[in-house]
Structures are given as structure tokens and as C-alpha cells.
């Protein structure tokens, strides 16, 4: 077994304990949102639970909780060579990742599933040893046809070939009618349909992605089932400390997508004033040098220590290993104010498709007007 794999497994155990036992450093609240939430109301929402699902489809001893670092699969495809997708996922599992993040909208789940199968075999693992997340896309929210939610869920399970999901997320709070392509905020109805999936015994937890504060409040108030996790954009250029802290208060895990910010080339041209590449930012590179880490490891370690799960993506073996090595990148207290200053100077949201969809996304959150 590779030394990196051994170290990653040890570090994963330590970090998972920290994430789920409230050992994180206090989070800055500089951009606090006047949401109208009060202590009593917050407490009533936090008291709601995640049902513990047991069934013949789920082993008796699966991964206890979501690992602090996962392997992302967004844009992990090449139409001319989908084998690269399969090979990358397989290599990630062989290297030490125990968490794979997927989505129907990525249009690569069949090849991701093949990679999971190959990686488990090569690494000598079983399905129960890893955490698999996927997401429900907008055109299957089910406002027009309630059966669409379970239809896409079943297609996802078939494509991935994993038997069950550890976590299934609503990708966006916005639904799209598959016939006329009209969009609407139909997340309350969609959530009610997703809770029915728990009864199938083929998904352990359900959650959300890309919700605004009021949307999360309304969803939680409408249901007895609390989201296990909320996945949204989070990196040194979009820190959202108060938003992260609020999830911690509610007992909802946060997963950070695009944790390396504008290192993703797909964001070029989407933002009016793009800040300097995060991994070339002198603040990050100087910290990396001082801590004997790489810039990517600094950014990932920073987010994990704040209490967020991270899901970096790469198709290159070198970077797959490097990103996992962030589990062994130890930042020191003086590093955090320096990184926090980047969020104030270069506040930028990279991903906001609201204008194209004709809706206002991320209302009340930092960078929502970009």
C-alpha cells in the first residue's frame, strides 16, 4: 500500500472526528446576514433529524459519516476518451480517496461507475468502504410529473452500479419543466418527493445544493427530515464564514465545491472582474512554502479546518495525489487572517447561472449580484 494512502487514511480518521465533534476553530462572522433567524427558531430546526436508514440494500456497517475530502467528477469527461474518466476515478480510490461526488448533470456517471468498480477491486475494498454522493437535476424535480424524481434516482443507481447511495442531493432549488423549459422555485415539493426515496432503502441520506438562506429556512420548516448536507461554492475568494457557521449550528454538513476557486478553466469569461488565479496568489504561495505544502493543499486544508468537506477534481495522477495530500498539510494560526483577507479583497462568486435561467439565485449571500 502506498505511503500516501496510509497517511491519508490516518488523517481522514482524525479530520472526520474533528468535523463531527465540533473541534473547528471559530469562524469569522464579518459578512453576517441579517436573516431574521432567532435562537428559538434555529433551535427548532436544529432539533430535526436525519432518519437512519437500514435495509437489505445497505450493509450493516457502511462508512459512518461523509469523509472530509472527496473526489469530484464535474467536467471529468472527454467525449473522445471517456476511459480517462474511469481511470481517474479508479486511481483516486487506489490512492486513498473514500468519497466520490457525482451528479446526473455531469453526464459521465456510467464511466464514473466503471471507475468505482475498478478502483474497489484494485484497492481490495468493498462498496461499504466508500461514500458515494449524487444529485438530482432540475428537469427531474417533478413539479409536472412527481414520478420524475424517483426515475432519475433509479437511472443514477443503474449508471453508477453501486447498489445504494450514501447521499442524494437536490442540485439546485430551481426546477425546469422538461416540456416548455420554464423554471420555478419548486424545492418544497421536490424535497417532499426526495424524502420518499428514503423509504426505498437505497439511499442513506438526502441533502441540498446551492440554496439561499431563506430557501433553506423554508425547506427545513416544511419537513421533519433535515438535510444531511448542503453543497455550495466555498473557497478563499468566497469564504462565507457566517453561512458556514449557521450550518454548523443547524447540524448540516457543508461540502465545498470549486474549493480551488478559479483554477477551474470553465469559469473564464463568466466573471466580469476575475481575481488573480488562487493557486498563483502570493499569499497562498508564501504560506505553502512556509508549511512545506503546495498552494492547492493550503486552500484545501484551510477549508477542511473550517469544517467544510472538499471535493477537488483532477484527471492527472499527480494532482489527484497532491490534493489528497492536503490531509497532511498543517496550517498555523497566523495563516488564517492572511487567507481571510483574500476573501475581503477578492470576493468573487464563480458559479451563478441565475441570469441564464431567469431567476435570482443565492439571495442574501456574498457575491450573489455578480
Q: What percent of the chain has pLDDT over 70?
A: 88
The closest alpha carbon to 136, from 194, 87, 84, belongs to: 194
Asked whether the predicted pLDDT for residue 27 surpasses 50, the reply is no
Mean pLDDT of the chain: 89
What is the reported pLDDT for 59?
Answer: 94
Which of the pair, 147 or 79, is modelled with greater confidence?
A: 147
Structural contact between residues 346 and 118, judged by C-beta atoms closer than 8 angstroms: no
Structural contact between residues 217 and 43, judged by C-beta atoms closer than 8 angstroms: no
What is the reported pLDDT for 243?
Answer: 96
Query: Under DSSP, is residue 94 helix (H, G, I), strand (E, B) or coil?
Result: helix
The closest alpha carbon to 134, from 175, 114, 97, 105, belongs to: 105
Give the range among 15-24, 158-167, 229-238, 280-289 with minimum mean pLDDT: 15-24
What is the reported pLDDT for 21?
Answer: 43
What is the reported pLDDT for 15?
Answer: 52
Torsion on CA atoms 232, 237, 242, 243, rounded to nearest 10 = -10
| CA–CA dist 15, 8 (Å, integer) | 10
Task: Report CA Rg, the chain.
Answer: 19
Arithmetic mean of pLDDT, 266-286: 92
Give the pLDDT confidence of 85-107 residue by residue, as tens digits.
999 999 999 999 999 999 999 99
Domain 2-357 has what CATH class? alpha beta
Asked whether the predicted pLDDT for residue 22 surpasses 90, the reply is no
What is the reported pLDDT for 79?
Answer: 65
Asked whether the predicted pLDDT for residue 33 surpasses 70, the reply is no
Asked whether the predicted pLDDT for residue 76 surpasses 90, the reply is no
Element (H, E) at 207: strand 203-209
Task: Identify the active-site residue in 97, 106, 164, 205.
Answer: 106
What is the reported pLDDT for 38?
Answer: 58
Asked whether the predicted pLDDT for residue 20 surpasses 50, the reply is no
Q: Is 106 a catalytic residue?
A: yes
Give the range among 178-182, 203-207, 219-223, 239-243 with minimum mean pLDDT: 178-182
Longest dimension (CA), the chain: 56
Give the pLDDT confidence of 284-306 residue by residue, as tens digits.
999 999 999 999 999 999 999 99
What is the reported pLDDT for 71?
Answer: 98
pTM of the model: 0.91
Amino acid at each position: 500500500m502506498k505511503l500516501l494512502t496510509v497517511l491519508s487514511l490516518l488523517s481522514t480518521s482524525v479530520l472526520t472526528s474533528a468535523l463531527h465533534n465540533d473541534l473547528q476553530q471559530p469562524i469569522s462572522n464579518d459578512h453576517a446576514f441579517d436573516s431574521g433567524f432567532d435562537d428559538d427558531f434555529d433551535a427548532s430546526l436544529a432539533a430535526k433529524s436525519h432518519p437512519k436508514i437500514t435495509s437489505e440494500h445497505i450493509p450493516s456497517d457502511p462508512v459512518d459519516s461523509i469523509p472530509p475530502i472527496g473526489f469530484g467528477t464535474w467536467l471529468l469527461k472527454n467525449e473522445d476518451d471517456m476511459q480517462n474518466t474511469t481511470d481517474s476515478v479508479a486511481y483516486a480510490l487506489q490512492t486513498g480517496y473514500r468519497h466520490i461526488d457525482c451528479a446526473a448533470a455531469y453526464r459521465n456517471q456510467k464511466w464514473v461507475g466503471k471507475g468505482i468498480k475498478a478502483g474497489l477491486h484494485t484497492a481490495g475494498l468493498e462498496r461499504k468502504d466508500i461514500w458515494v454522493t449524487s444529485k438530482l437535476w432540475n428537469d427531474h424535480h417533478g413539479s409536472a410529473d412527481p414520478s420524475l424524481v424517483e426515475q432519475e434516482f433509479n437511472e443514477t443507481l443503474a449508471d453508477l452500479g453501486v447498489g445504494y447511495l450514501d447521499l442524494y442531493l437536490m442540485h439546485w432549488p430551481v426546477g425546469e419543466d422538461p416540456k416548455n423549459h420554464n423554471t420555478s422555485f419548486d424545492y418544497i415539493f421536490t424535497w417532499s418527493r426526495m424524502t420518499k426515496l428514503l423509504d426505498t432503502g437505497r439511499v442513506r441520506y438526502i441533502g441540498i445544493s446551492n440554496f439561499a438562506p431563506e430557501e433553506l429556512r423554508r425547506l427545513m420548516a416544511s419537513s421533519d427530515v433535515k438535510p444531511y448536507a448542503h453543497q455550495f461554492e466555498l473557497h478563499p475568494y468566497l469564504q462565507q464564514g457566517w453561512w458556514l457557521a449557521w450550518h454548523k449550528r443547524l447540524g448540516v454538513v457543508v461540502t465545498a465545491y470549486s474549493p480551488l476557486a478559479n483554477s477551474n478553466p470553465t469559469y473564464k469569461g463568466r466573471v466580469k472582474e476575475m481575481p488573480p488565479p488562487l493557486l498563483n496568489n502570493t499569499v497562498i504561495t508564501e504560506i505553502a512554502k512556509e508549511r512545506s505544502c503546495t498552494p492547492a493543499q493550503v486552500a484545501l486544508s484551510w477549508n477542511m479546518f473550517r469544517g467544510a468537506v472538499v471535493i477537488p477534481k483532477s484527471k492527472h495522477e499527480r494532482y489527484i495525489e497532491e490534493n489528497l495530500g492536503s490531509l497532511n498539510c498543517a496550517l498555523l494560526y497566523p495563516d488564517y487572517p492572511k487567507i481571510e483577507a483574500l476573501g475581503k479583497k477578492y470576493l468573487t462568486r464563480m458559479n451563478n447561472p441565475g441570469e441564464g435561467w431567469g431567476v435570482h439565485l443565492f439571495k442574501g449571500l456574498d457575491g450573489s449580484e455578480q
